[in-house]
Amino acid sequence: MGDRMPAVTPLVTRFAPSPNGRLHLGHALSAIIAHDLAKASGGRFLLRIEDIDGPRSRPDLADEFRRDLAWLGLEWEEVPAQSTRLASYAAAAEALKARGLLYACTCTRKEIAEAGARPGLEGLIYPGTCKHRPPDPARPAAWRLDAAKALAATGPLLWQDELAGPQAVDFSGLGDVVLVRKDLPASYHLAVTLDDAADGVTLVTRGADLFAASHVHRTLQALLGLPAVRWYHHPLLTDETGQKLAKRRGSPALAERRAAGENGRMLAEQLRMQHLRLGT
Ligand code: GLU
Ligand code: ZN
């Protein structure tokens, strides 16, 4: 078709903060990357509040997050918060249970540690204690994805990270992850996969600390007949000593910097430069 440039597909990206703590520089970088990738493609940048963390969720923080994003100079469309979508999580969990892909687990953290669980990519790898025993109906149960059955159902799967390249789904560092928490009709993995599909997200951007979760999310997409998205796991910000920036080491919250009169748009520019230097 002549020598026209190939059309750029408009991307739909999102920033999905959990209102259980204030936003910090790492969150700002995630939001800026998602925003800029969407806008550069003529697409849409969404904000979704992931507020299903029970008593740890603080509704007042959602407003603070919106003010932080505006202060950074970002424009977004907000989609419904996770707390409004619990019925869709429960329905998907029931469908997976009906196919025998989930099993009930009544173990406590302590029991899992005592069963000799080895460390994996997301904490301890569940040693499978409940996989072959009937659940004790007197104890609260979580529901875990039987990774072996899931892989048998999907066959070999690939997912695409824009920076790291193609990845083969691999549960060896994850084990049988929780899809339904004891206290909620979903876990992070199930909720985020369903929401990204419902919101039409095409490129999931988030920090490299969540890289391994995408093995689970790609599997859930295949099991639930959801479209395969692409991922962009950005490198994490580090301090001068090379340590990950984390709130526990006292980096000030965005809201504190905002209140102190710092220019948010200039901070956003600095983070963009830093991201380029981190070697995308
Ligand atoms: N809500 C998650 C968090 O704040 C992020 C989810 C995601 O980007 O997949 O850590
Ligand atoms: Zn168990």
Helix locations, the chain, DSSP H? 25-40, 60-71, 86-98, 109-114, 147-154, 188-198, 213-224, 254-259, 264-277
Closest ligand by atom to 19 CA: 1
Give me the domains of the chain, ranges plus CATH numbers.
9-84+235-280 (3.40.50.620), 85-191 (3.40.50.620)
Integer Rg of the chain from CA = 20
- Say how far apart CA 213 and CA 236 lie, in whole Å: 16
Structure-token pair, residue 165: 């390249």
Q: Which atom of ligand 1 is nearest to the CA of 210?
A: 9
Other Cβ atoms closer than 10 A to 240 = 5
The closest-lying atom of ligand 1 relative to the alpha carbon of residue 192 is 9
Q: Round to whole Å and give the CA distance between 80 and 49.
A: 7
Please indicate whether residue 51, judged by its CB atom, sits closer than 6 Å to ligand 1: no
The greatest distance separating any two alpha carbons of the chain, rounded to the nearest whole angstrom, comes to 70
The pair of structure tokens assigned to 154 is 């999907």
| Residue 271 neighbours by CB distance under 10 Å | 20
Nearest to 179 by CA among 230, 129, 239, 126: 126
* Separation CA 177–CA 165 (nearest Å): 24
- pLDDT given at position 238: 78
Helix (H, G, I), strand (E, B) or coil at 274: helix
- Cβ–Cβ < 8 Å for 11, 38: yes
Neighbours of 93 (CB within 10 A): 20
Nearest-ligand number for the alpha carbon of 61: 1
At residue 46, what is the residue type? Answer: L
Looking from the CA of residue 50, the nearest atom of ligand 1 is: 1
Tokens of 112: 């899992």
pLDDT tens-place values along the chain, 280 residues long = 455 666 789 999 999 999 999 999 999 999 999 999 999 999 999 999 999 988 888 989 999 999 999 999 999 999 999 999 999 999 999 999 999 999 999 999 999 999 989 999 999 999 999 999 998 999 999 999 999 999 999 999 999 999 999 999 999 999 999 999 999 999 999 999 999 999 999 999 999 999 999 999 999 999 999 999 999 999 998 776 666 665 556 689 999 999 999 999 999 999 999 998 876 5
Tokens of 222: 């295949």
Secondary-structure breakdown of the chain: helix, strand, coil percentages, each rounded to the nearest 5: 40, 15, 45
Kindly report the pTM of this predicted structure: 0.94
